[in-house]
Amino acid sequence: MCIRDSDKASEQWVWRFGNRRFDLRNRVLIMGILNVTPDSFSDGGKYFAKDRALRRAEEMVNEGADIIDVGGESSRPGAQPGSVQEELRRVLPVIRAIKERLDIPVSIDTYKYEVAGEAIAAGAEIVNDITGLRHSARMKTLIAEHGVGVVIMHMQGTPQTMQVAPHYDDVVEEIGAFLEHQLSEAKQAGVEVSEDKARKLLEGGDKVKVTVWFRGREITHPDIGCKLLQRMTESLKEVATIDRQPS
């Protein structure tokens, strides 16, 4: 079979995991956040019960969500870690209910290897790790073995320490270097990573310039930007404008 160069270029914009295929050429994906916790900073306590969580998941799908991200432990500043057993008690019934009712990929928001494994068995297709795969060395192997999608997050310290005198010499360079390193570590552990595809997605393509304004300073990073998950907390109907300059 002959594959044209244009076909190869198109594939650089495709995110595959399991039997899912998301084409990112024309639009970004929307991840609906569903915290089944009593203390998360956005929706903590609202969807603690399984039936309410399922109704919220259905609402988000109707509002345009492409992925539902289920979390059972708060990562707000100052939040204390919980046990594996309590996290599983919170997330597994919700994941199972969503998979029974809705045809949508479910992401498990956890850094615990044990929780991720049970969530995948219950139907989760993506692991969203706030520690960027640093908490457990077995997490990378788990992701590789099951062929699920992965979201590598960045966090300085832990939820307990993240606001205790945080410091960066160059926030863009340091976070970029971290993501590059974790991407390489994941690949070495067997996670299927296409570096050309990842870099294309991270950079935003050859003709797209991603600019961030921070405290009046224009920050443009040419090498790495990462696929950004815009956390839509209350309504997925309102889409923020990315290309916005300070007044």
Given a cut of 90, whether residue 246 has pLDDT beyond it is no
- What would the mean pLDDT of 66-83 be, rounded to a whole number? 81
Given a cut of 90, whether residue 240 has pLDDT beyond it is no
- The pLDDT value recorded for residue 189 is 86
**What tokens were used for 217?**
């300073």
- The pLDDT value recorded for residue 18 is 86
Highest mean pLDDT among 27-36, 67-76, 106-115, 135-144: 106-115
**What tokens were used for 143?**
């992701």
pLDDT band at 2 (very low <50, low <70, confident <90, very high): very low
Cβ contact 223:203 at 8 Å? yes
If one compares 48 and 4, the residue with the highest pLDDT of the two is 48
- The pLDDT value recorded for residue 181 is 84
Least confident span in 4-8, 20-24, 168-172, 177-181: 4-8
Given a cut of 70, whether residue 235 has pLDDT beyond it is no
- The pLDDT value recorded for residue 81 is 76
pLDDT tens, 113-169? 999 999 999 999 999 998 888 888 899 999 999 999 998 887 776 666 667 777 778
If one compares 16 and 216, the residue with the highest pLDDT of the two is 16
pLDDT band at 41 (very low <50, low <70, confident <90, very high): low
Per residue, the 3-state secondary structure of the chain, as one string, reads: CCCCHHHHHHHCCEEEECCEEEECCCCCCCEEEEECCCCCCCCCCCCCCHHHHHHHHHHHHHCCCCEEEEECCCCCCCCCCCCHHHHHHHHHHHHHHHHHHCCCCEEEECCCHHHHHHHHHHCCCEEEECCCCCCCHHHHHHHHHHCCEEEECCCCCCCCCCCCCCCCCCHHHHHHHHHHHHHHHHHHCCCCCCHHHHHHHHHCCCCCCCCEEECCEEECCCCCCCCCCCCECCCCCCCCCCCCCCC
- The pLDDT value recorded for residue 111 is 93
Least confident span in 18-22, 75-79, 118-122: 75-79
| This model's pTM is above 0.75 | no
- The pLDDT value recorded for residue 162 is 66
pLDDT band at 53 (very low <50, low <70, confident <90, very high): very high
- The pLDDT value recorded for residue 236 is 39
Average pLDDT of the chain is: 75
pLDDT tens, 191-217? 876 555 444 444 433 433 444 444 455
